[in-house]
Amino acid sequence: MPARCNVVVLISGAGSNLQALIDASTSPEAPIQIRAVVSNRADAYGLERARQAGIEAQVLDHTQFADREAFDAALVELVDRFEPDLLVLAGFMRILTERFVTHYRGRLLNIHPSLLPRYTGLRTHQRALDAGDLEHGCSVHFVTEELDGGPVVVQAVVPIHPGDTAETLAQRVHGQEHVIYPLAVSWFAQGRLRLTERGAELDAQPLSATGHVIRS
């Protein structure tokens, strides 16, 4: 059997996406192995999820560093101890330095709760409601220097129903995040997904600006 893809996951909070990845990694045939989970916050519940799954859980508190550069340098040092083939941002609520992003270029994925390029940044569910959108969703993308701007790999589209609130919509989107993140990670681990100078490619075919689209 080919070696499994070493994955390190960065979190800041609840870690439900981390849980979806843990669940997808437990079978002997799974193409990934989660080597470590790192949080910038000691109170992130995702750390507990990691420990319960027997995965090494580490905290690197950003408030203990003079600036963003110093924190990111320490983060690279910590993450690289686990020799990741892939670094996965799963609700890691930090803006990353260019140096960090360049270091992991082509092996750094993020999940964002909107149909990128719409609604980069925060409060995406409320902004989709305020705009009167009929559809919303989530995107997995390669991380580049541009915030929430790297090539999209896969999007899940969900309907917006009359009477939806930011909370009901977030719940619907979250459900799809837990489907598309393990999918994108497994593609990468199987060597099917790559970032080239042409953008994101799946099975050596360029993906469109929306990536692979799943509708529910």
Q: How far apart are CA 39 and CA 18, in angstroms?
A: 11
Peptide bond into 28 cis (omega under 30): no
Specify the stretch interacting with ligand GAR by CB under 6 A; choose among 77-85, 109-117, 152-160, 199-207. Answer: 109-117
One of 5, 8, 9, 111 touching ligand GAR (CB under 6 A): 111
The residue among 23 and 77 lying less far from ligand GAR, judged by its C-beta, is 23
123 among annotated binding-site residues: no
Rounded to an integer, what distance in angstroms lies between the CA atom of residue 186 and that of residue 39?
22
The single residue listed with the structure tokens 């083939």 is: 85
Six-digit token string for 55: 């995965």
Does residue 113 touch ligand GAR according to CB under 6 A? yes
* Catalytic, out of 112, 125, 141, 212: 112
Q: Does 15 show up as a binding residue in the annotation? A: yes
Q: Was 175 annotated as part of a binding site?
A: no
Judged by CB under 6 A, does residue 15 bind ligand GAR?
A: yes
Nearer to ligand GAR, 149 or 201 (CB): 149
| Single residue of 13, 31, 84, 211 touching ligand GAR by CB under 6 A | 13
Q: Could you tell me which residues are beta bridge partners of residue 37?
A: 9, 57
Contact with ligand GAR (CB under 6 A) among 47, 137, 177, 182: 177
- Contact between 141 and ligand GAR per CB under 6 A: no
The answer to the question of whether 40 is labelled as a binding residue is no
The whole-angstrom separation of Cα 20 and Cα 200 is: 23
What residues between 56 and 95 interact with ligand GAR by CB under 6 A? Answer: 90-91
The yes-or-no answer on residue 112 being catalytic is yes
Q: Does 16 bind ligand GAR (CB under 6 A)?
A: yes
Is residue 14 at the binding interface for ligand GAR, with CB under 6 A as the rule? yes
Paired residues of 87 in beta bridges: 8, 108
**Is position 94 annotated in a ligand binding site?**
yes
Tokens (6 digits) for 73 = 């340098």
Helix, strand, coil percent values for the chain (each to nearest 5)? 35, 25, 40
Q: What are phi and psi of 72, to 5 degrees?
A: -65, -35
Extended strands (E) in 60-125:
86-89, 108-112
132 labeled binding residue: no
Look at residues 2, 61, 72, 11 and name the one whose alpha carbon lies nearest to residue 32: 2
Show which residues are catalytic.
Answer: 112
Q: In the complex, which residues of this chain contact ligand GAR (CB under 6 A)?
A: 11, 13-17, 46, 90-91, 111-113, 138, 174, 177
Known binding-site positions: 15-17, 68, 93-96, 110
